[in-house]
Structure 1
Amino acid sequence: MTTALAPGRYAIAQGKAYGAVMLGMPGSAQMARAESQAYFIACANGALGGQMIPVPGGVLIKDKKGAVMGAVGVTGDSSDNDAAAAMAGVEATGLTGEA
Structure 2
Amino acid sequence: MLTYPQAATMVERALAHARDNGFPPMTVAVLGAGGRLISFGREDGSSLLRERIARGKAHGALNMGVGSRSLAGRAKSHPDFVNALVALADGDLVPVPGGVLVRDVDENIVGAVGVSGHQPDNDEDCAIQAIRACDLRPDPGA
SS at match of 2:129: helix
SS at match of 2:138: strand
Q: Structure 2 length as normaliser, TM-score? A: 0.67
Is the aligned partner of 1:8 residue 2:49? Answer: yes
CA shift for structure 1 position 37? 0.4
- Compute the RMSD of aligned alpha carbons: 1.3
Q: Count matched residues.
A: 98
Q: Which residue number corresponds to residue 27 of structure 1?
A: 68
Q: Which residue number corresponds to residue 79 of structure 1?
A: 120
Structure that is richer in strand per residue = 2
Identity across matched positions, percent: 35
Distance in 1, matches of 2:97 and 2:89, equals 18
Counterpart mapping for 1:82-93 below 5 A: 82-93=123-134
Q: Which residue number corresponds to residue 64 of structure 1?
A: 105
Q: Which amino acid aligns with 1:84?
A: D
Distance in 1, matches of 2:50 and 2:73, equals 22
Structure that is richer in helix per residue = 1
CA shift for structure 1 position 45? 1.1
Counterpart mapping for 1:42-53 below 5 A: 42-53=83-94
Q: Which amino acid aligns with 1:8?
A: L
Q: Which residue number corresponds to residue 13 of structure 2?
A: none
Give the ranges of 4+ consecutive aligned residues of structure 1 lying more than 3 Å apart after TM superposition.
none
SS at match of 2:100: strand
Unmatched runs of 5 consecutive residues or more in structure 1: none
SS at match of 2:116: coil
Unmatched runs of 5 consecutive residues or more in structure 2: 1-24, 26-43
Is the aligned partner of 1:94 residue 2:135? Answer: yes
Q: Structure 1 length as normaliser, TM-score? A: 0.94
